[in-house]
Amino acid sequence: MVVIASFAALWGSGRDFVSARPKLRNPIVARIFSNANSKIVTSDSGLVLLQDTLRRLVSLEEYFQADYPRSLTNLIAAPDLRAAMQRGALRPYTNYSDVNSVAQLVILGRENGVSPVIRHPRQLSRRDFETGSFVLLGGRLANPWYSLFEPRLNFVFEGDAGDGDVHIRNRNPRAGEQRDYSVVEGRDGETTFAVLSLVPNLGGTGPVLLLAGIDRPGTEGAEDLVLQENLRDDLATLCQRKEIRGGYFEALLKVRAIAGVPRETSIVAGRPLSIP
């Protein structure tokens, strides 16, 4: 069962956080919050449920059609389900773990002297991504704006809500790497995967942090890894690699989860991001 929270409640949970601690020693988050125009974009739980019902991906173009979601919910035969999906898709719902991550980001932003703005995906336009810095929570199934940046990445999501086989494709495997990474179920939990990426905005003037998993535990594992006052040693080492230092990069993460809760996250591979 998906846990959802209203956008209004999410904002209320973050606006009263105050911290007197020194400025951030986390270079990734500090880089995001070096810009006063910083936004946190939550995932859209209504969209996730709609895609699960339709059993197909809803594109960014469909998401912003004037008749969304009616043009899509009209494909649902059962009247009660059709009405419920239409109401849910129009409301600014997100999930509980995003609420947690937003609360942490608000604290970290204020430690760096920035009060980040919180937005639901439907409250933005493409033009917004030409300036400022962003944190995007969730991959293209949960946050349609992810699709603006994924073409630049080596680790990309394939499959959709229709085929039930979402996985991460490694476009250019190096020695010891796999071409595809999928969720593996075990008796004591699951192994899933996520992508953590730092890319430029559409205008090339500021950073965008992408945190996206194959499933919810994967995304939450990526969020937990990066949203700390101090970076964990292995992630800090990756950021300090000669070809990455001070630039943009992406990292493939492996997440061990028990009962849907991430317990251990490790870095599988990292890449510098080539900027045209």
Tell me, what's the pLDDT at 136? 98
What's the pTM?
Answer: 0.88
Residue-by-residue DSSP string for 92-110: -EEEHHHHHHHHHHHHHHH
Task: Answer whether 171's CB lies under 8 Å from 156's CB.
Answer: yes
CA–CA gap between residue 47 and residue 133 (Å, rounded): 24
Task: Look up residue 81 and give its DSSP letter.
Answer: H
Pairing of β 249-258 and β 155-158: unpaired
Tell me, what's the pLDDT at 4? 47
Tell me, what's the pLDDT at 45? 96
Per-residue pLDDT of the chain (276 residues; tens, 9 = 90+): 444 444 444 444 433 433 444 455 788 999 999 888 999 999 999 999 999 999 999 999 999 999 999 999 998 999 999 999 999 999 999 999 999 999 999 999 998 889 999 999 999 999 999 999 999 999 999 999 999 999 999 999 998 666 668 999 999 999 999 999 999 998 889 999 999 999 999 999 999 999 999 999 999 999 999 988 888 999 999 988 988 888 999 999 999 999 999 999 999 999 998 776
Tell me, what's the pLDDT at 24? 58
